[in-house]
Amino acid sequence: MIEVAGLRVVLPPAVVAVDGVDLTVGAGEFVVILGRSGAGKTTFLRALNRLVEPTAGVVRIAGRPLTGADATTLRTLRRQVGMVFQQFNLVRRASVVDNVLAGRLGWAPTLPTLLGRFAADDRRIALDCLAQVGLAELAGRRADTLSGGEQQRVAIARALAQAPSVILADEPTASLDPALTSSIMDLLKRINTQRGLTLVVSQHQLETALAYATRIVGFRRGRVVFDGPPARLTPPAAAAIYAEDPGP
């Protein structure tokens, strides 16, 4: 589903955030990218849909190269890849349902949407997705009146509304109360098992990774230092992922 070869991302001025990553994620996997903060997890995920431009290497989505693709191809590929963010990234002043409708933008024709018009089908899909995350009754509320956990559910509904085959979730629980972590991760897991979507979720918490992942990819200083099922993540392997960086 996702093929990454020789991926390298240098952020300005000269920070090597991702340093030569090769990774193939198969359809239906629940991959947790595990690592300390600053290990390059976020940059890696953002390079997978080119929110960050890779410096070198190739990313393929469902066999089609995303790197080097022209604007139109890039958009059709992005459409297949939903994204969930640590800070939810909702339009705070817009209603809940309008936020979810934004997930349909990649499919809807540009001109009507510029005037705020969506097809009836798009609205139905948006309400469906909202119901799937259990927030159907909040459709008309302003997004910023919702709790953090609810906002993240709306963001997940927005990702679902684009009918993706992959969802990238960048530290989806890091800004939430620890008690809410399992409810969001349960929701992502349900999407993975019931809809057969591929999930790539970054996490800095080992316990959460072990509880949900079918595969754990350990990141350290922009490189993959572990790749395997949770059962194989022995304490020494985990320690290697979390090891303190040597001083300069």
Partner 1 sequence: MKRTTLAIALAVLAWTAWDTGADPIRLGRGIPWLLDFVRRMLPPDLRVLPAALVGALKTVEIALLGTAMAAALALPLGFLSARNVASPAVFHPARVALNFFRSIDTLVYALVFVAAVGLGPFPGVLAVVAYTTTSLAKLYSEAIEGIDRGPVDAITATGATRLQILRYGVLPQVLPLFLSYVLYRLETNIRAATILGFVGAGGIGFYLQTYLRMIDYRAASTVLLVTVVMVMVVDAVSSRLRARLI
- How many residues lie near partner 1 (CB under 8 A)? 31
User: Which residue of 30, 44, 88, 118 would you call a contact of partner 1, by CB under 8 A?
Assistant: 88
Beta carbon of residue 59, minimum distance to partner 1 (angstroms, whole number): 14
- Among residues 73 and 193, whose Cβ is nearest to partner 1? 73
Q: 31 vs 168, which CB is nearer to partner 1?
A: 168
Residue 158 sits in the site that holds partner 1 (CB under 8 A) = yes
Residues 6+ apart with CB under 8 A from 127: 97, 100, 136, 139
Distance CA 53, CA 43 (A): 10
> Using CB under 8 A, which of 75, 117, 124, 190 touches partner 1?
75
Q: Is there binding between residue 103 and partner 1 (CB under 8 A)?
A: yes
Q: Applying CB under 8 A, does 93 fall inside the site for partner 1?
A: yes
- Backbone angles phi and psi of 77, in degrees to 5: -75, -40
- Identify the residue among 18, 23, 34, 81 touching partner 1 (CB under 8 A): 81
Give the separation between CA 31 and CA 212, rounded to whole angstroms. Answer: 9
In angstroms, what CA-CA distances link 14 with 17, 19, 51, 55, 67?
A: 9, 12, 18, 11, 21
Give which of 76, 13, 4 is closest to 46, Cα–Cα.
4
Which residues lie near partner 1 (CB under 8 A)?
A: 49, 51, 75-79, 81-83, 85, 87-94, 102-107, 110, 113-114, 155, 158, 162
